[in-house]
Structure 1
Amino acid sequence: MPVRPALAAALGAAALLCAAAVPAGADPAETVTVDPTGSIAADGTVTLSGTYRCLSGTGPVLVSSSVSQSDPRVKHGIGGSAARCDGAEHRWQNSGKVSLETLKAGAAHVQATLLEMRPAGIALMPVFHAIDDLDIALVNR
């Protein structure tokens, strides 16, 4: 697996495993949003999108996303994309393939996370910049 998709997958998994809210010290100017509509293709590819804004990062910053449908405890990671932390608002879009038995067109819940993997000694420490949760509609494409 190439390094960039592996890093995106690892950061997405870290975001899914961490149930913490955005730290109290997070800058309110840093945001991530989810668009109210996502898509699901005939092959099970889910595409989610939205916007983000971050000010700076000392490590790689990614926008990760997950979706759940019938059981809110079961979240499916839908990719991760690199974020540019320059203070401007940017668009993000993540895609990932799931089983068609798992997700279908209709109501769904999405969580998007703006996550930095900050160097901390010889390890990387996940630092949350922003999180958004939104009920959306998954539509067939």
Structure 2
Amino acid sequence: MSDCAVSGIAITIALVSLGVSVIVAFRDRGTITAAARYLESYQHMSDGVYVHIVNSGRRPVTIRRLLITTEDGKEIERRIGENGNPVRLLESEDCEFQLNTQNSELQEWSSSVIKKAVVEDSRGKQYEVSGLVEAINQNAEHLRQAL
């Protein structure tokens, strides 16, 4: 076998290896899936919106905050976690929190039309929270009455 053929085979193997590494790194990255739903009050609970966040990737993800953007461009932030510490989610791990009348920011949101809702991780990457915009906008009257 000539030196040129061996070099060609080595380059081909290196390129295939690089391609597989890129695919595995892309597949293994941390990613978040977030959804929200409105629940009416029952017994001693108040009306609220429940937000459920899941790490649907293979790498740990640290989530810092929920960002709400109103129709007039105002951005409202809610830190996620306890005592100012962000929440670290491992593979398939989840967290859930409620937005209700005890949350002061919900009082601001219920008087505005919400345009966008995202969860932000520690790298600044934002993930849309499906259902949150609709849950707040469609039930704002009920949320305000609970105040």
Decide which structure has the larger Cα Rg and report it.
Answer: 2
- Give the shorter-chain TM-score range: 0.3 to 0.5
Q: Which structure has the higher relative contact order (CA within 8 Å, separation 6+)?
A: 1
| Structure showing the higher strand proportion among its residues | 1
| Structure showing the higher helix proportion among its residues | 2
Taking structure 1 as the reference length, what is the TM-score of the superposition?
0.47
Taking structure 2 as the reference length, what is the TM-score of the superposition?
0.46
